[in-house]
Amino acid sequence: MKYRGMIFDFDGTLAATLRETRRIFNEIAPDYGIRPVGEEEIDMLRHLSLRELLDHLRIPKRRVPLLIARGTRMMRAKIATLPMIPGMADVVRTLRDRCECMGILTSNASSNVEAFLDAHGLLDHFDFISSTSKLTGKSRHLKAICKTFSLNHNEILYVGDELRDLKAARKAGVPMAAVTWGFNSRKSLAAENPDHLIERPDEFLRIVER
């Protein structure tokens, strides 16, 4: 296969957490003087970068760590009941047999990811779960993963659903597959020219067979 390792983002890429994330955000936003997000805004927000999103919602950067920490704690109560992206479970099982290493790099809590994967019978398919509390801290972790598993940067594929995932992969010199079913829109992801633009989970199988 072309890639010896596959590294997945979690929220929006493997787990369908967008609805629950919005519910939690709207519940805690008033505590920080931030307005809630309306259902009618979602489509428009999907076109925004992280900086544009924070500006649009008027979220001060200093509030972001608190929001993330509190939000991930609240998500723990329901994480095991949230659905997986349709088709991704079968893809993960197939890819496991074709990869030397497979892991998750996320800004969610490792305990949340473990609980979710265990509930869906996939925990044993991943070699590691790496969590970063910083929304923009993934590039450093991608470099560390390459070093840990003795892989060249072009031998792993990072899979994510957001523009910030693309930015992190590019900064780390790692190929990127952007999935169109997560937070950022297909149009916004395509404009950044990812190495692969994935419309359906089964398209991963074509990538690894090349």
CA 81 – CA 88 distance, rounded (Å): 16
Residue type, 121: G
Judge whether 26 and 36 are in contact, CB under 8 Å. yes
**Which of 9, 11, 161, 165 is the catalytic position?**
9
Report the amino acid identity of residue 184: N
How far apart CA 51 and CA 5 sit, in angstroms, is 30
Q: 54 CB contacts (<8 Å, ≥6 apart)?
A: 61, 64
Alpha-carbon span 183 to 151, nearest angstrom: 29
Q: Which residues contact 77 (CB under 8 A, 6 or more apart)?
A: none
d(CA 136, CA 170): 12
**Where would I find the beta strands (DSSP E) of the chain?**
5-8, 101-106, 128-131, 156-160, 176-179, 196-198
9 is catalytic: yes
| Catalytic residue IDs | 9
